[in-house]
Structure 1
C-alpha cells in the first residue's frame, strides 16, 4: 500500500506553508474528485492538507451588484444563494444541473474549478495519456472519444473540461482570487483554464502551494435574465454533451451586448468570442443566431465518434439564444428554426 499522510489546518497561511514545504502534497477540500483520483492511483500525493476549516465559505454581496464566493462555499449553497439566483441565474442553474444533490452538498466552488477531466483514458493508469504522463501519447485520439472535445484541442489532448459552473463564470467575466507564496493574485476566469497545447498536464497557471480562496463575479445587469442550457444523455447526474451560458441585452430587437460561453465541447470552458462578435449590433433573429453559432464552430475538429458535437453545439447555441430572448417557440425540438 502506498503511504499517504493527512493533516488538517485552520488558517490560510498554514495551509499554504504546509503544501509549499512538500512538493508531493496537495490541498483537500470537498474531496469528491481528489479522493477518487487517489484511490485509482491517478493522483499520487504523499500528503493531503485538509482545508475545510478555513474561513472561506462566505457568499457576499459586493457594492454595485457583484458577488464574492468563498472557495469553500458548497455548490448547493451557491446555487441557492438569493443574490446569485436574482443577479446571475445562469450560475445558479449551472450548479443545480451539476452532479447530484449529495455531491453538491459536499463539493466546494474552488474544487469544482480545479476538478480534473473525465476522460476514461486519463483515469486508466494502463492507458497512454499525455495529461497523466506527459509524452506517452493520447489514447482518445483514435479510441472511444464520443464525449471528447471538438474545440481547443491539440495533437496531445482532446479531453473535455467537465465543470458546468465554470462555463457560467467564464461568461460572467468572473475572477479567481488566489493566495500563495508570492502573495495574492486575481486571475480572469478565462485565463484560469489553459488549453492543452504541448503541455496538457498543466491545466491552470497556479504555482505549487497557490490556493484558490474565492471567486468574484462583477456586476452585470443583463445577467439577471441569463440562462444555462445543458444537453446530456440523461436528465440528471450526467456531464454535458453540449451546454451554453447566455446573457443578452436588447434594444428595439437589436443585440447591444451579449455574453456566451460553451461547455461539453471544449478542452476548457469556452468563451464564444466569435459568436459574440457576430451577435453584437445584429437583430435578434433566427438567422443571426444561426450565423453566430456556425461562426463559433468554424474551427471545430472532430475525431470520429465526437463529430456529432459540432452540430449539437450549433443547435444548443441557437436554442439558448432564443430561450434567453424569450422566444424559444421559434426553435423546433431538434434545435432548428421551424
Structure 2
C-alpha cells in the first residue's frame, strides 16, 4: 500500500508504524482495519471545493457504510486501494486523532475556525464502535470552545450525547443526519452498511429532545428511484415528525470513483435505468440544473407545508437548561460542564 512509503517524505500523512488487523466479531467480519498514526488531523478544504466550510477532521478513511454512491470513494485510490470493495472493507484508522487534534487546537496559528466532521466518510461508522475516537475529539473541541458540526448516518452518535450537550454550552454545535429516502428496499441495496432510515430519524428525535438542534440533509435524492412526488412528501413528512429544525435536499452526484461503482450497481439492480442515467449525467458529475432546482423547490414547498425550512447560517437556537430533558439511559452525566442558565447555539 502506498502509505508503506509515506515515511520517506516530510509531507507524509502517516508514519511507518501502521498495523493491519481483522476482528473476529460479526459486525466487523470482512473488514480490515489499518491503524496508523497521522501526522496532522485538521485539514484545509481546497479553495475550488463546493463545500461550505474551510476545515475538516476525518479520523477514518474508507467507510463500512458501503453507500454505493459515496463521492469519497476516489480517495481510496490515493492509497493504491480500489474505490469499490476496498473502500467498504479496508478502513484506515487514525488512532492518534484525539491527541493530535488537541495539540493542533492549542497551536498559536489556529484561529478557532469552524471544523466540519463526517463530510468525507462517516465518523460514526462501525469502526467507531471499537476505536472510540469521537469522544476524545469532541472533548478537545469542547475544551477549546471550538465550533464544529457533524454529519452522520450513524446511530452511534447518541453514545456521545452528554459530550455534545457539554460542547453546546460553550460553543456552536451543528448536527445533521443524512436521510435521503424512506424506501427500505432501496436502502438495503444502496446503503447496505447503514442504520435504516427510520432509525436515523430516531436519532434526530432524540437529539432534539435533549436540547441539541438537529437538521436533516435529505441526501441523496436518487433520480427515478426516490424522487417521485409521493416519495418526497413521505420523506419530508417523516423528517418533520422527527423534529428536525431544517431539511436541505441534495440530488445524487456521481464523481469519478463513485460513478463507476454506482453504475455497476444500477446495471445489476435497475438495468432499465442505465440509459436514462447515462443521459442525465452525460455532462459530468451533477444532474442538470433544471432537475436540481425542481427537486429543491418541491422539498422546500413540502418543508414549508410541514413547518420546517432550509438551514439558515447564523440561526440561533436556545439550549434548554440541563434538567429540561432526562439523560438517556446509561449515559454518564458531568455536572461540572452544565451552566446554570441556558445559552445560545448557532446551528451551522
Q: Normalization by structure 2: what TM-score?
A: 0.31
The structure that is helix-richer by fraction is 2
